[in-house]
A and B are shown apart, each in its own frame.
Chain A
């Protein structure tokens, strides 16, 4: 069976969007999305599942685009890649991110809803002096007169033991797991596993409170 390309899929999906004038598949690696406000989103795709500064730099040298679509659902993105994207006013994201950018009036800035929420919330905390995005899941939080802490944000609806295990395998050290999805549960075995690793699992409100205090 012939498989529909990601661009064909996006084109179909965007046909429902009222602010989209047209979607043109220019070639197999370039998509043009024209909004009715006469702004254009140039999109190229990649199946890389790990992104560092040099990957983004090389990709943007070869592709003059506004949005880099990763077809891998949840790739690893290093903080250096985010810094470079920010400096170039480009966006790296998945299908959902592209749909949200298309619905915006402009291509940039764009941050995924959970990232926007976490960054804004942390930056507004009275004890926090700086928030640095270390990669696609971890944030380094510097605090006034208190230790710097690293959290990993897991957006699972229900948080199970395998999500914790995978996060620990894939990412460098962290001091706490933030269950960034406000809904759902944390399973008993996930809590037991986290406790055995001497780290914490916190919901948003708990993290806000904990940031006022000495960590250990």
Chain B
């Protein structure tokens, strides 16, 4: 699978929506980081602003049609509660 392509596209989306402050963060985790043939691509998105999250969802629609992305959305306060990034060894994309 072209993981580099996915990372590149996610970074492009990040650049287009995080133009002033990084209030939306994106990570990869799960088998996409450990297996050559993962069934899907787990993506974690941390957000604080719903409007910005809607913008991200709109922009990722075309990528979702090409790749089996499994998107997980949490607010930053939920992330503090879950420690998701640490527990899943997630890698930050933007």
- Among A52-60, A93-101, A118-126, A194-202, the stretch that binds chain B is A93-101
CA A20 to CA B77, docked complex, whole Å: 46
- Chain B window 56-94, contacts with chain A (Cβ cutoff 8 Å), 1 for yes, 0 for no: 000000001110111111110110011010000000000
Q: Are A158 and B39 in contact (CB under 8 A)?
A: no
Is B40 an interface residue, CB under 8 A from the partner?
yes
Distance from B86 Cβ to chain A, minimum over Cβ atoms (Å):
13
CA A205 to CA B73, docked complex, whole Å: 26
Q: Are B78 and A71 in contact (CB under 8 A)?
A: no
Residues of chain A contacted by B68 (CB below 8 angstroms): 71, 73, 94-95
Interface size class of B (residues with CB under 8 A): 20 to 34
Q: Are A188 and B64 in contact (CB under 8 A)?
A: no
Chain A interface mostly = loop
Interface residues in A24-82 (C-beta closer than 8 Å to B)? 47, 49, 71-74
Residues of chain B contacted by A95 (CB below 8 angstroms): 39-40, 68
Q: Are A1 and B2 in contact (CB under 8 A)?
A: yes
Q: Are A72 and B2 in contact (CB under 8 A)?
A: no
- Among A128-136, A159-167, A171-179, the stretch that binds chain B is A159-167
CA A9 to CA B35, docked complex, whole Å: 13
On A, residues with C-beta under 8 Å from B are 1, 3-4, 9, 12-13, 16, 47, 49, 71-74, 94-96, 99, 156-158, 160-163, 166, 185, 187-190
On B, residues with C-beta under 8 Å from A are 1-2, 4-5, 37, 39-40, 47, 53, 64-66, 68-75, 77-78, 81-82, 84
5 tightest Cβ-Cβ pairs between the two chains A and B: A162-B73, A13-B37, A96-B39, A187-B78, A160-B74
